[in-house]
Amino acid sequence: MKRATVIYGAVLVLLMAASWVQWTADEPLDLEGKVVVLQGDADAITAVRWVSDESEATVSRESDDLGTFYWVDYTRWTEKTLPADRSTDDTGDADAPPEKERVSSRSEFKSSAKAEALMASLSPLAARRSLTVTDDEKLEALGLDVVTTRIEIDRSGSTEVLEIGAEAYGTRDYYARHVSSGRIYLFERDLVQPLKYARTRLPDRTLFGHERADIKTAKVTVGQASQSWNQHHADDQGKARWATSQDPEAVAEQATTWLDKFLKLKGTKYADPNDPPPDLQARFSVELSTSDEATVVDVVQVGADGDWYARSQHTRGLIKLVRSGAVALSEDVSALVAEAKK
């Protein structure tokens, strides 16, 4: 009995020692010498959230028949000063500061390869270094005494939370605390900025997902009329040209100029999918085909003189266009198709 007690005691001591070593051991380092905070695959992340007093952003992994993409729900908070109380009630305090209310501005949009890069930067999540903080004064200096900003990472059915503190002097990197472990780290600024400024950093403003050099054919349709052109020397932008299949040796100068402008066309912001623009009228469409797939970009306008939008399988929704660019293309498209028919 005494011998068994000694053995059990020794086992207990070993287990406690192992637990202490695991808790106090240095975090593993990645290939660049950074401290690995969280392991995990990028494909296992279902959502990443940024929550602060000024803004909130949720980057979600979505999928449809066309594949996987990232969708961002962004809200910006601002303060609005309420009109002064002009009542004749003498009990009012004339010296009181004006009342304010928080108002929100919400937007949704499809993200781009930048969202994929964000997920990759979290897999693994690495910090420049870890810090040992033992007093409240130091915690306050790091902006981690009273925290109002956090990043939440949903991966493989669980959520990891990072509380975001102040910016480091000079580098403007961010101090942060991993909530579940209590450890404090210094994270690179480029890891945080895409979420903090998601509205400007993450939108995908392209109308199609093909590389220009991969496009074999472009088919332009306006009303009931359409015409197709094939791209030649696509791998050399200086020599790239478009020609009809009927006359492949002749450069279609008008089509080359028009398509060059169209392929550079970008969106500005996405329309609210829950409140789409009314009275959309079709203006023209362009079908871009590669060896493997095709994307149809429809260009529409609100009424006879309203805003211009585009939508395609790539955008997954309506995206507003720069008016001048859309108008110029629309004005020339009928003549473009008619000229090719001659």
Using one digit for the tens of pLDDT, what is the confidence trace for 179-227? 999 999 999 999 999 999 999 999 999 999 999 999 999 999 999 999 9
328 domain-assigned: yes
Query: 184 with 244, same domain?
Result: no
- End position of a domain, from candidates 137, 168, 201: 201
206 domain-assigned: no
Residue 104: beta bridge partners? 77
Count the domains in the chain.
2
Which residue type does 335 have? A
Residue 119, number of CB atoms within 10 A of its CB: 19
- End position of a domain, from candidates 201, 222, 253: 201
Query: 179 with 116, same domain?
Result: yes
Query: 295 with 172, same domain?
Result: no
Angle subtended by helix axes 113-121 and 189-196, to nearest 10 = 130
197 domain-assigned: yes
Query: 290 with 161, same domain?
Result: no
Q: What is the pLDDT of residue 190?
A: 93
Query: 69 with 130, same domain?
Result: yes
Query: 155 with 289, same domain?
Result: no
Query: 197 with 222, same domain?
Result: no
Q: What's the whole-number mean pLDDT along residues 164-184?
A: 95
What digits encode the pLDDT tens for the residues 79-128? 888 786 644 455 556 566 778 788 889 999 999 899 999 999 999 999 99
Per-residue confidence band for 6, with pLDDT thresholds at 50, 70 and 90: very low
Q: What's the whole-number mean pLDDT along residues 71-81?
A: 90
Q: What is the pLDDT of residue 15?
A: 38
Query: 222 with 308, same domain?
Result: yes
What digits encode the pLDDT tens for the residues 19-48? 333 333 455 555 578 999 999 999 999 999
Query: 52 with 154, same domain?
Result: yes
23 domain-assigned: no
Query: 255 with 299, same domain?
Result: yes
Query: 149 with 67, same domain?
Result: yes
The percent of residues above 70 in pLDDT, for the chain, comes to 86
15 domain-assigned: no
17 domain-assigned: no
Query: 220 with 327, same domain?
Result: yes
172 domain-assigned: yes
- Residue 31 vs residue 75, higher pLDDT: 75
The percent of residues above 90 in pLDDT, for the chain, comes to 71
Strand order in the sheet with 67-81: 100-110, 67-81, 55-64, 45-51, 150-155, 158-167, 174-178, 184-187, 129-131
315 domain-assigned: yes
What is the span of the domain harbouring residue 221?
212-341
pTM for the structure as a whole: 0.82
Q: What is the pLDDT of residue 197?
A: 95
Which residue type does 180 have? S
- End position of a domain, from candidates 176, 201, 226: 201
